[in-house]
């Protein structure tokens, strides 16, 4: 039964209807007379996160001052410490989701004054939602004749359409402005407790709304039977379902034969929890699909398992599959495709290619011809190691990208371990001796207290890159992306039959000689792991996701077990398939700078762990710190940094009182350029901050 809803609306100021604008990426999107707006989550339908604005540049970035701030403290029953939103700006109005109930607010673009607010109180349904809090944003739609709507998905997985001028639900959309996404899903989903939701935004083009699906982290599934993450298209005017794509192929559908022993019939997940991308000219929507149920154990789903961990191109109007490429066969590393693919019109050896570039957790950038799915550079199937977990199914090969080179480390070797001092290196060697290490695609192990305790994996189960994705300069075809260098320990233990029928779940074996009350390792898997990352690791307190899926990194005397840099930004030339530059992003953490074992040593800037989104403008690449530290002026906080996008040199930084937790954006209004960034963290509730140059 539908829960009672609470709608709070403040009278709206009138705004002018605005035409959609994108970065004008070589024919993609629609260029209009509103070039300073930011009308989609990714800046444009191509997900470039690019703006040609240049009023804010290397010469004046340090002069930025706060234009306005908007706090979330009164928008929900409790403070929010992980605000991941990227707002939109259309027609002089900034739109964003914010607060623990995922309220939608419309703000004056010059002052931050709230114009209207809408909130749905979903009661038990919201409390049971797998993807709660404010989410990552919302979508904008206009018919081009004056009607404009804001479309977003609630924590309880309902799609709401609001009048962009007033914030009032559009009664002609769905049922009184709402489409219940737990219905018409080609499966039975409990309206209250069904484990399906979404943090990402819908994406809209050609009057079609495409909506993804997300679930809880899959390290410890309750059952091998789970809700499936099917993807649907809806009419932007009426909310009528137009099509559905089965990410787990049903009987008789293409790819069903990759599921052995009828495992397709009960396996779930395989949703798209990341942002999606659209090419309007080709009429295609591109889906970055996650893996099926079970992040680290797939014995219940033998076979390669299409379309798990695949990039899938669909016809925007019909949902019919055009092409696909599977990045991981039968995944067991939680290498979900985490972010939007990026469209670029590139030139390779004199040949023009309509390309699509997909960043991944495993630190490869997969580049394809987006018209047909053919790799621009070879992607080779190579043999990989087979594991020994009882009942597991192993793919004999996995795809390996040959170009561009990986933008961060892959696999764990002795050479990767901390070596600031011989004593720290010796301690790291002793610790690692209890783990299985190896190259990328080394399979997980059953945890044994006497060894191996777990498989040490790098990139970790949260990446490499993650949901923030990358940014593209369409003028140079250089792509910019943040990644973190942090291993995670993946151990498996038999599931408790009283709690799960899954076979093996993530966990760490306990000392057989310890008292029974000592229990088994926590949710994080590795000793010291858990929901917040490794104690003492740089940036761990604000590592963007709350739950460290697969455990935080191992530490040696509070220092990360691997060498720095811990976080970096990489610039990749898509015309050449080469890395242009890399820099350590983020100041060295206080616990590294001030560590007694490092006293007297010259420690270069280490960068910081986290999940950081980048913004690219005419001359700059902009990104904030992911953790709190003592700034050069003695304050506790973080910095929003700007780099020369051609050379990677830091050219400016301004203070922010909490880490960046949502990707920045920029817009022009009344002749002034603004940069906004979402910040939050433990002890500092969600806030959207806008910067501009002084008058």
Which H/E stretch holds residue 424? helix 422-432
Q: How far is CA 134 from the centre of its chain?
A: 14
Q: How far apart are CA 217 and CA 213, in angstroms?
A: 13
Angle at CA of residue 678, ends 675 and 680, nearest 5°: 145
- What φ, ψ does residue 596 adopt, rounded to 5°? -60, -30
Q: What is the pLDDT of residue 541?
A: 27
Q: How far apart are CA 521 and CA 662, in angstroms?
A: 31
Q: What is the mean pLDDT of residues 232-258?
A: 98
Q: Which residues pair with 307 in a beta bridge?
A: none
Give the least confident one: 299-313, 398-412, 506-520, 593-607: 506-520
606 with 486: CB under 8 angstroms? no
Q: What is the pLDDT of residue 544?
A: 27
- The answer to whether the bond into 351 is cis (omega within 30° of 0) is no
Q: How far apart are CA 204 and CA 576, in angstroms?
A: 32
Per DSSP, 239 falls in state -
Can you list the positions of beta strands (E) in 512-649? 555-556, 559-560, 567-573, 578-584, 615-616, 620-624, 629-630, 636-644
437 with 395: CB under 8 angstroms? no
The string of pLDDT tens digits covering residues 136-188 is: 999 999 999 999 999 999 999 999 999 999 999 999 999 999 999 999 999 99
**3-class SS shares of the chain: helix, strand, coil, % to 5:** 5, 35, 60
Q: How far apart are CA 664 and CA 417, in angstroms?
A: 33
Q: How far apart are CA 41 and CA 469, in angstroms?
A: 12
- Residue partners of 415: CB distance under 8 A and separation at least 6: none
Handedness of CA 124, 270, 96, 177 (dihedral sign): negative
Angle at CA of residue 533, ends 529 and 537, nearest 5°: 110
DSSP tally for the chain: helices H, then strands E: 3, 40
120 with 173: CB under 8 angstroms? no
Smallest CA-to-CA distance from 32 within 17, 47, 42 is with 17
Q: What is the pLDDT of residue 546?
A: 29
Give the least confident one: 332-341, 463-472, 632-641: 632-641
Q: Is the pLDDT of residue 447 over 70?
A: yes
Q: How far apart are CA 538 and CA 628, in angstroms?
A: 9
Phi-psi domain of 23 (left: phi exceeds 0; alpha: psi -120 through 50; beta: other)? alpha
Q: What is the pLDDT of residue 276?
A: 98
User: Which alpha helices (H) appear in 87-134, and where do they start and end?
Assistant: 123-127
Q: Is the pLDDT of residue 431 over 80?
A: yes
Q: What is the mean pLDDT of residues 287-307?
A: 98
Q: What is the pLDDT of residue 470?
A: 98
DSSP secondary structure letters along 600-631: T---------S----EE-SSEEEEE-SS-EE-
Q: How far apart are CA 646 and CA 620, in angstroms?
A: 8
Any long-range contacts for 75-79 (C-beta under 8 Å, 24+ apart)? 75/99, 75/100, 75/101, 75/103, 75/105, 75/117, 75/119, 76/100, 76/101, 76/103, 77/101, 79/685, 79/686
The string of pLDDT tens digits covering residues 343-395 is: 999 999 999 999 999 999 999 999 999 999 999 999 999 999 999 999 999 99
Q: Which residues pair with 688 in a beta bridge?
A: 70, 678
Q: In what order do the strands lie in the sheet with 478-484?
A: 470-473, 478-484, 567-573, 578-584
572 with 580: CB under 8 angstroms? yes
Mean pLDDT for the chain overall: 90
3-state secondary structure of 62: helix
pTM of the entire predicted model: 0.92
In the chain, domain spans: 61-692
Q: How far is CA 340 from the centre of its chain?
A: 8
CATH topology for 61-692 is Methanol Dehydrogenase; Chain A (2.140.10)
Q: Is the pLDDT of residue 555 over 50?
A: yes
Q: What is the pLDDT of residue 516?
A: 62
Q: Which residues pair with 446 in a beta bridge?
A: 492
Higher pLDDT pick, 225 / 695: 225
Q: What is the pLDDT of residue 216?
A: 95
Give the least confident one: 183-187, 540-544, 601-605, 681-685: 540-544
Angle at CA of residue 393, ends 198 and 289, nearest 5°: 25
Handedness of CA 595, 598, 603, 608 (dihedral sign): negative
Higher pLDDT pick, 529 / 354: 354
Q: What percent of the chain has pLDDT over 90?
A: 85
Which H/E stretch holds residue 423? helix 422-432
Q: Is the pLDDT of residue 533 over 60?
A: no
CB atoms within 10 A of CB 199: 24
Q: Is the pLDDT of residue 10 over 60?
A: no
Q: What confidence category does residue 518 fall into, taking pLDDT thresholds of 50, 70 and 90?
A: very low
């Amino acid at each position: 039964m539908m829960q009672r809803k609470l709608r709070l609306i403040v009278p709206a100021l009138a705004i002018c209807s605005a035409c959609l604008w994108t970065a004008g990426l070589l024919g993609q999107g629609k260029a209009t007379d509103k070039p300073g707006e930011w009308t989609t989550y990714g800046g444009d339908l191509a997900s470039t996160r690019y703006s040609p604005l240049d009023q804010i540049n290397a010469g004046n970035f340090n002069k930025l001052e706060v234009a306005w701030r908007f706090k979330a403290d009164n928008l929900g029953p409790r403070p929010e410490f992980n605000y991941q939103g990227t707002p939109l700006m259309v027609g002089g109005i900034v739109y964003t989701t914010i607060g623990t109930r995922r309220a939608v607010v419309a703000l004056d673009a010059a002052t931050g004054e709230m114009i209207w607010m809408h909130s749905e109180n979903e009661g038990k349904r919201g409390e049971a939602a797998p993807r709660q809090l404010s989410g990552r944003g919302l979508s904008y739609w206009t018919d081009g004749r004056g009607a404009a709507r804001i479309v977003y998905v609630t924590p309880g997985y309902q799609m709401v359409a609001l009048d962009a001028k007033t914030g009032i639900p559009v009664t002609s959309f769905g049922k009184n402005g709402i489409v219940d996404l737990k219905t018409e899903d080609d499966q039975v989903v409990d309206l209250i407790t069904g484990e399906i939701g979404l943090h990402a935004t819908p994406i809209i083009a050609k009057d079609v709304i495409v909506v993804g699906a997300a679930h809880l982290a899959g390290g410890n599934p309750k059952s091998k039977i789970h809700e499936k993450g099917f993807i649907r298209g809806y009419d932007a005017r009426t909310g009528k379902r137009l099509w559905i794509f089965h990410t787990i192929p049903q009987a008789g559908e293409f790819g069903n034969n990759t599921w052995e022993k009828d495992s397709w019939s009960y396996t779930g997940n395989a949703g798209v929890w990341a942002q999606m991308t659209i090419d309007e000219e080709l009429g295609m929507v591109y889906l970055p699909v996650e893996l099926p149920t079970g992040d680290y154990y797939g014995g219940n789903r033998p076979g390669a398992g299409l379309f798990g961990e695949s990039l899938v191109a669909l016809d925007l109007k019909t949902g019919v599959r055009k092409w696909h490429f599977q990045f991981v066969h039968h995944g067991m590393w939680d290498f979900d495709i985490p972010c939007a693919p990026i469209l670029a019109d590139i030139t390779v050896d004199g040949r023009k290619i309509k390309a699509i570039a997909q960043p991944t957790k495993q630190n490869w950038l997969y580049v394809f011809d987006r018209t047909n799915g053919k790799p621009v550079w070879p992607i080779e199937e190579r043999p990989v190691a087979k594991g020994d977990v009882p009942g597991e199914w192993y793919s004999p090969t996995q795809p390996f990208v040959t170009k561009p080179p990986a933008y961060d480390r892959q696999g764990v070797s002795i050479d990767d371990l901390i070596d600031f001092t011989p004593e720290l290196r010796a301690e790291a060697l002793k610790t690692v001796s209890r783990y299985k290490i190896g190259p990328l695609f080394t399979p997980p192990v059953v945890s044994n207290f006497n060894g191996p305790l777990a498989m040490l994996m790098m990139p970790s189960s949260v990446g490499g890159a993650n949901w923030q994705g990358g940014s593209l300069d369409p003028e140079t075809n250089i792509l910019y992306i943040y990644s973190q260098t942090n291993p995670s320990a993946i151990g498996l233990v038999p599931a408790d039959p009283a709690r799960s029928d899954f076979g093996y779940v993530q966990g760490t074996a306990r000392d057989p000689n310890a008292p029974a009350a000592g229990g088994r390792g926590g949710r994080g898997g590795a000793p010291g792991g858990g929901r917040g990352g490794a104690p003492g690791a740089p940036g761990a307190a604000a590592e963007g996701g709350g739950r460290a899926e697969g455990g935080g990194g191992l530490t040696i005397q509070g220092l990360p077990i691997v060498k720095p840099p811990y976080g970096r930004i990489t610039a990749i030339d898509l015309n050449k398939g080469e890395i242009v530059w890399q820099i350590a992003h983020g100041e060295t953490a206080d616990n590294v700078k001030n560590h007694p074992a490092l006293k007297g040593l010259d420690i270069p800037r280490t960068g910081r762990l986290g999940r950081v989104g980048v913004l690219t403008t005419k001359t700059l690449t902009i990104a904030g710190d992911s953790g709190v530290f003592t700034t050069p002026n003695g304050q506790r906080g973080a910095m929003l940094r700007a780099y020369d996008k051609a050379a990677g040199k830091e050219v400016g930084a301004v203070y922010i009182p909490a880490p960046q937790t949502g990707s920045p954006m920029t817009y022009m209004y009344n002749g002034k350029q603004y940069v906004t960034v979402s910040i939050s963290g433990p002890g500092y509730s969600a806030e959207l901050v806008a910067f501009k140059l002084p008058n």
